Amino acid sequence: MPMDLSSTKYVGQTVDLPTEKTLSSIPKGEKGNEGVWEYPSPQQMLNAMLRKGKGDVPEDSVETMVSIHNFLNEGAWGEILQWEQPYSEATKVEPRLDRFTGRPDQMSPRAKLFSFLGKYFPSKFNDSPPFDRHDWTVLRSDGQGGWSKVRYVIDYYTGPEDEDTGMPTFSLDVRPALDNFTNAKDRVRHWTETEAKPVWDKALGRSN
């Protein structure tokens, strides 16, 4: 989210939206004193959507949109921490987030593959494309005061409605980008050696 978003109501706005930003749990930057990333306020979110040409945005739904936005990003960071755990345990230093880039119009190769397979194997794969994509650049400590940068790809999927509440559900496909051999090795390790059920099973439409 751009840092220069206005917190001023736009002309014709009928609903008063909060302008207070929310602190995330995600450490920011290479220096320990940079704090954490901030989530945009509902007013900033509305202004950002209008600036991007989203059209007629329901003002009374923006606060809910912000809550979902924050919840999903916290979930994405939680998944990244699992991927980074072997390195964090080795260096005793937690990863940090350097930057993030929204790429909603650029479907990842894997999302394209899953969508294609879903047309022919609908019982095993979800043919619905992700509704959003982010690339996050994560800082991984070398244990000696330095950092390496690791790109993660995150596909955001809409799931079926919750049977009890009727509310929408979401799932995330979080993984290091195949930029180098280390990332490829980490993918194999994560999906074959960890006991946790991969989150992307939900994106594939799998269930146990």
Query: What share of the chain has pLDDT > 90, as a percent?
Result: 51
Arithmetic mean of pLDDT, 82-97: 96
Phi-psi region of 143 (alpha: psi -120 to 50; beta: other; left: phi over 0): left
Q: Does residue 108 contact residue 151 with C-beta atoms inside 8 Å?
A: no
Residues 6 or more apart in contact with residue 100 via CB below 8 angstroms: 134, 135, 136, 137
The pair of structure tokens assigned to 78 is 């939680």
Q: Does residue 41 contact residue 19 with C-beta atoms inside 8 Å?
A: yes
Domain boundaries, the chain: 22-203
pTM: 0.84
The pLDDT of residue 174: 95
Q: How far is CA 86 from CA 56, 92, 181, 186, 197, in A?
A: 46, 10, 16, 10, 17
Tens digit of pLDDT for each residue in 138-159? 999 999 989 999 999 999 998 7
**Residue 206: pLDDT over 70:** no
